[in-house]
Each structure stands twice: as structure tokens, then as C-alpha cells.
A and B are shown apart, each in its own frame.
Chain A
Amino acid sequence: MKLPIYLDYSATTPVDPRVVEKMVQYLSVDGDFGNPASRSHRFGWQAEEAVDIAREQIADLLNADSREIVFTSGATESNNLAIKGAAHFYQKKGKHIITAKTEHKAVLDTCRQLEREGFEVTYLDPKEDGIVTPEQLKEALRDDTVLVSLMHVNNEIGVIQDIAAFGELCRANKTILHVDAAQSAGKIEIDVQKMKVDLISFSGHKIYGPKGIGALYVSRKPRIRLEAQMHGGGHERGMRSGTLATHQIVAMGEAFRIAKEEMASENERVLALRNRLLNGVNDMEEVYVNGSLENRVAGNINISFNYVEGESLVMALKDLAVSSGSACTSASLEPSYVLRAIGRDDELAHSSIRFSIGRFTTEAEIDYAIKIIRENIGRLRDMSPLWDMYKEGIDINSIEWSHH
């Protein structure tokens, strides 16, 4: 077994070897390296054809029309284009936007920018399980709400939002709905014919494609218009200028094709591994799953190990490549804002670990992970005065600590 074990598929995924094989055919002088915008020779035509096929493959996974796909550099750019583009284009209709506190920074920070430009933003508070209810959205919608941006699957806690219900409410209110689907594409069904969503952001590298490529679904019926954020040669129907990255687009298309084909069987396998991991650790005391376990993608589990400090936990799990909600491991000094938003206190947020499982995770890796988690949680708790106090029945919140 190769150490460390990669359990951070929500951060990024390795490119599938089948995708790599396709991708390299569009780079060198022996391949189709042409500019898809070149109309006067076969180099251009062949590249354009490859892009068209990839566009179809991506549209296929969503049950969309290929003309509804706009290529970008990734989900962050897609989120920026969707939110700023729609807000700017439709601002005469209203300047109110709704999002949630647990959204990705690419959405939250974009909304902050719009606030600086004079928009008003409502940040919904998800329930303790991480879910935003349709009732919450209904209450927040106003006549001047021009845009709602809510994610499909949360990147930290993996919970799934009821996008179809949000779509009904937004359509009835004549409000544009944008969904960040970076974490859901290829993991759960997205059907734009069933869900009334206007704009959807996608990423290539979260689903075994390369980094640096993403897409934005822009609905044609009803027709959604956007103010471009990138100006130039008028590519992508004027919504996003810049020479199309043929190799990355072809790769993303292939990744989406594989995802559509294998999603059902892969989910079954990944879910079994996730449950194996969870069952392997949750008989320990004071172990908390963060976010709804029922409404959650197969590959994610986010757990807090109480009375163990986050950074020492990450040190202890050095053979596992995982993400921590602890402040000590990140540049900011605050623990996970997602866990704080769902009401976890600082200590539980600090002691949280996100395990994300994917296509290349094996049962042996999960078993090894369980073993080192159990050993080290036990070891760190044996060393923890707080664990002693918990065992003696002392409430650590009743003690007057000397803050330093």
C-alpha cells in the first residue's frame, strides 16, 4: 500500500487514465492542436469538432442541450460569471440576492463584491444538519430578489440540498436560480429538464478531469442572459472570450462521459467504503458526524473527534491525506466557517476531519485508515486532561479557564 493514503477526493481527484489518453491527443504537432476558432483550415475544424463532442458529453450528463454549455477555467470562474453576470444584467429588476452561509468562498466572496456595488444579500442559515429548507428560501424571497445562489452538494460536509424545490420557488417568483454543482456532478443525478435551474457551475478536476477547466450551464428555455466578465474575441456566444483549451475541454468531456456511464456502480462501491470507514470509528466515544448522514453524497464523511485538538490530530494522521476543519492547519485563524454555521462549537470544529473517498480508494486503504485513526485518537485522548475531566463527569464549560 502506498502511503500517505489519498482521502481528499473532495479537494481534487487524479485524472482518470482514460481521460489522460484522450487529452494528450490534442497537444502536439502529431495531434489535433488547432485553434477551434480557426475557420479556414482543417486544423481548426478538427479541434472544433472535438470541442463539439465534449460539449455534447457534458450536456448529456445534465440532460441539457450542448448549446447551453459555456466553458470556463473552473467552478470559481463559473460562479463568478453566473452571479456577477446575472446580477449585472438583470439589476434593473431588483438588487436583492439570496445565498447561504455554508456556500463555497467563490460564491460568498462574489456576493460580498456585489454588496460593495450596492446589492443587498441575504445569507440563509442552514439547519443543524446543514440543509437549507424550501421554507427558509420562500420566506427570504422578495419581489426584488433577482438571483438565488445555492449549492447542490456542500464541499465540507457533503450534504445534498433540495434543488428541485428551490427551482419551483424561484421560477414562481421570477428569480434566477444559480447552483454550484462542483461537488455533485457525476455523484448524484442532475437533470435540467426536471430541476428548474437557470445556471449551474461545474468543475473538471472534481470528477477525474484536469484542473483549469470548468463549465457553466446557461439555460435557453427560459433564456438567461449574462453580462460577460471576460471580454475579447466573443467566444462562447460572447459570454466568455478566450481561446478554447481544446485538450482540457476534450478531457472534461471524456470525464463526464465516464461519470454518466459509471455513476451508479461507482456510487455503490464508494458508499460501501464510506460506511465501512464510519462503522470502523463510530463506536468510539464522543465521535460526531457533521451534517446530515441521510442527505449526503456517498464519498464524503466529516467527523469530529471530541477532546482531541485538531492540529495534533492531523499530525497523528500523517499517513492519511485528509482535510481538517482546524484553524491551525489553514492560513486563517478561524475554524471551519461551515461547521460554525451549522452550530458546531469551536472545539468540535477544531477537531473535525473530512474524509472523502473516490474512484481509486480500496478496501485495504480504508481498513488501514480505521486502524491508525483508532490508535491515535486513543493515544491523544490518553494524553488529554480534557478527556480525563470528561471521564470524571466534569463539565469543561463549567470551569473558569484562564484565557491567554
Chain B
Amino acid sequence: MAYSEKVIDHYENPRNVGSFDKDDKSVATGMVGAPACGDVMKLQLKIDANGIIEDAKFKTYGCGSAIASSSLVTEWVKGKSLEEAGKISNTEISAELALPPVKIHCSILAEDAIKAAIEDYKSKNA
């Protein structure tokens, strides 16, 4: 499979791998995908008092594109408000990484992970 240099860079040097305490009220956790489908993505956002994402971490079980997509969004969401982060779309992710058509679902999964994390934060702090 021919991957772009950006995918290979994120795959070989993934940014922000790790976890936060999911029970912490300032932490938003989104886990999407399924093992049988070959991808599971866990995205965690640490949100400060002003509602700004101050840090992000991920763990991903999946192919190179899935790892690269989640690594990329951890970079992109930092410094954004939840509302801004929620606007990141899969087309931006796939364009940035030059994903081949068969790997578009990885970028959709990354978008879903952001949305799932925001939902989690809202329900925790409702």
C-alpha cells in the first residue's frame, strides 16, 4: 500500500500517545470503532476552565491511516474551543494526510472520535 509521507511520519512518530484519567471532570473521552472492523480509536481531551482544549491524547488500534488520523487530530484540537474542535471534518483530515479512497473511513472515525469526546464532556458537566 502506497502511503503519503505524512501518514508514514505520523505512523512512525505518533504525536500525543497516551491517556488521561477518564473519571476526571475536565477530561473528555471518545472511543469509537470496533475490533472486528479493524479499528478502535480512543481520543481524550483535557479542557481548561475557559472551555479551551489544553491537551489531547490518543490510543488507536488500527491500520497506519487510522493511527495517523488520530495523531493528527490531537495536534489540531489543541488550543481550540470545543465548538471549534467540533467543526473539524473528515475531509480536512483526509486531505491533509492524502488518504487513499479505501482509507477515508479512518478520517471519518477520527471526526467521530472528536464528536464522541465532546458529547462525553457535555454529559459529564451537564
Binary CB contact string for chain A from 291 to 312 against chain B (1 if under 8 A, 0 otherwise): 0000000000000000111111
Give min CB distance, A359 to chain B, whole Å: 30
Are B33's CB and A315's CB within 8 A? Answer: no
> A403 on the interface (CB 8 Å rule)?
yes
A346-B36, A402-B33 are contacts. A385–B42 as well, Cβ < 8 Å?
yes
> B17 on the interface (CB 8 Å rule)?
yes
The CA of A388 and the CA of B29, in the complex, are separated in Å by 15
> B11 on the interface (CB 8 Å rule)?
yes
The CA of A387 and the CA of B34, in the complex, are separated in Å by 14
The residues of B that contact A347 with a CB separation of less than 8 Å are 35-36
Give min CB distance, B52 to chain A, whole Å: 25
Binary CB contact string for chain B from 28 to 54 against chain A (1 if under 8 A, 0 otherwise): 000111111111111000000000000
Pick from B17, B32, B35, B63: contact of A312, CB under 8 Å: B63
The residues of B that contact A387 with a CB separation of less than 8 Å are 61
Are B60's CB and A404's CB within 8 A? Answer: no
Give min CB distance, A311 to chain B, whole Å: 4
Interface size in chain A (residues, C-beta < 8 A)? 25
The closest CB in chain B to the CB of A310 belongs to B38
The CA of A347 and the CA of B38, in the complex, are separated in Å by 8
> B78 on the interface (CB 8 Å rule)?
no
> A271 on the interface (CB 8 Å rule)?
no
Are A328's CB and B60's CB within 8 A? Answer: no
Q: Would you list which residues of chain A between 346 and 392 have a CB under 8 Å from chain B?
A: 346-347, 350, 382-388
Are A396's CB and B109's CB within 8 A? Answer: no
The closest CB in chain A to the CB of B108 belongs to A404
Pick from A310, A382, A396: contact of B17, CB under 8 Å: A382
The closest CB in chain A to the CB of B8 belongs to A315
The residues of A that contact B31 with a CB separation of less than 8 Å are 385
The CA of A315 and the CA of B63, in the complex, are separated in Å by 9
The residues of B that contact A350 with a CB separation of less than 8 Å are 38
Pick from B1, B35, B108: contact of A401, CB under 8 Å: B35
> B85 on the interface (CB 8 Å rule)?
no
Binary CB contact string for chain B from 49 to 73 against chain A (1 if under 8 A, 0 otherwise): 0000000000111111011000000
Are B34's CB and A383's CB within 8 A? Answer: no
The closest CB in chain B to the CB of A328 belongs to B63
Are A384's CB and B60's CB within 8 A? Answer: yes
The closest CB in chain A to the CB of B19 belongs to A388
Are B32's CB and A404's CB within 8 A? Answer: yes
Q: Would you list which residues of chain A between 305 and 363 have a CB under 8 Å from chain B?
A: 307-312, 315, 327-329, 346-347, 350
Pick from B35, B37, B59, B62: contact of A388, CB under 8 Å: B59
Are A383's CB and B17's CB within 8 A? Answer: yes
A312-B63, A404-B105 are contacts. A383–B14 as well, Cβ < 8 Å?
yes
The CA of A350 and the CA of B34, in the complex, are separated in Å by 14
The closest CB in chain B to the CB of A401 belongs to B34
Are B38's CB and A328's CB within 8 A? Answer: yes
The residues of A that contact B34 with a CB separation of less than 8 Å are 401-404
The residues of A that contact B33 with a CB separation of less than 8 Å are 401-402, 404
Give min CB distance, B56 to chain A, whole Å: 15
The closest CB in chain B to the CB of A400 belongs to B34
Are B36's CB and A309's CB within 8 A? Answer: no
Q: Would you list which residues of chain A between 46 and 66 have a CB under 8 Å from chain B?
A: none
The residues of B that contact A328 with a CB separation of less than 8 Å are 1, 38, 63
Residue with the greatest number of chain A CB neighbours at <10 A, chosen from B38, B62, B64, B66: B38
Give min CB distance, A298 to chain B, whole Å: 32
Binary CB contact string for chain B from 64 to 108 against chain A (1 if under 8 A, 0 otherwise): 101100000000000000000000000000000000000001001
The CA of A347 and the CA of B17, in the complex, are separated in Å by 23
Are B36's CB and A307's CB within 8 A? Answer: no
Are A315's CB and B64's CB within 8 A? Answer: yes
The closest CB in chain A to the CB of B63 belongs to A311
Which residues in A have some Cβ–Cβ distance to B below 8 Å?
307-312, 315, 327-329, 346-347, 350, 382-388, 396, 401-404
A-B interface, 3 closest residue pairs, ranked by CB to CB distance from nearest: A401-B34, A311-B63, A385-B42
Beyond contacts A315-B11, A386-B40: 16 other A-B pairs, Cβ-Cβ < 8 A, are A308-B61, A309-B66, A311-B64, A312-B64, A350-B38, A382-B17, A383-B17, A383-B59, A383-B60, A384-B59, A384-B60, A401-B35, A401-B36, A401-B37, A402-B34, A404-B37
Which residues in B have some Cβ–Cβ distance to A below 8 Å?
1, 3, 11, 14, 17, 19, 31-42, 59-64, 66-67, 105, 108-109, 112
